Each structure stands twice: as C-alpha cells, then as structure tokens.
Amino acid sequence: MTSFKSAIPLHRTCQEAAHLMLAREDRPLNWRDKTALRIHLWICANCPRFERQLYVMRHALSDWRNEIAK
C-alpha cells in the first residue's frame, strides 16, 4: 500500500490533506491541491471522516453567524 501511495505524484500525507481542507475554508484551492486532496480522500480511510466533521462545523458556524447577524 505504501508503494502504491508513493507512486502517485500528487500524494499527500494526512497532515497535508488536513491542512488543505482547512485552507479550503478560507480560499479556493488551485487545481493541483484540489486534485491531490481528492486523491487523498479517495485512498485514505480517516480523512473523509475529518472532512465530514469540517462540513458539520462549517454549517454550525454559518448558522451561528446568521443568528448573530439578525
């Protein structure tokens, strides 16, 4: 599995993927980062879970923002 992962030129570690997912909250990623992240989420068991948590957090946060904007 390790050799398969390292054979992919756009391979990212989980730490790098997490960093990209967080950066994505603030700014759009370039195509290379976007592709690398998509590949990582496809081959990784843990990061999709983290992405779902981020998704929930973002929605909770925007609800909260809407609430205080009233």
Closest separation in Å from C-beta 60 to Zn ion: 23
Residue number, 4 or 67, with CB nearest to Zn ion? 4
Annotate 2-53 with DSSP letters as a single string.
HHHHHTSTT---HHHHHHHHHHHHHSPPPHHHHHHHHHHHHH-SSHHHHHHH
Closest separation in Å from C-beta 45 to Zn ion: 8
Residue number, 45 or 68, with CB nearest to Zn ion? 45
Residues near Zn ion (CB under 5 A) are 14, 17, 44, 47
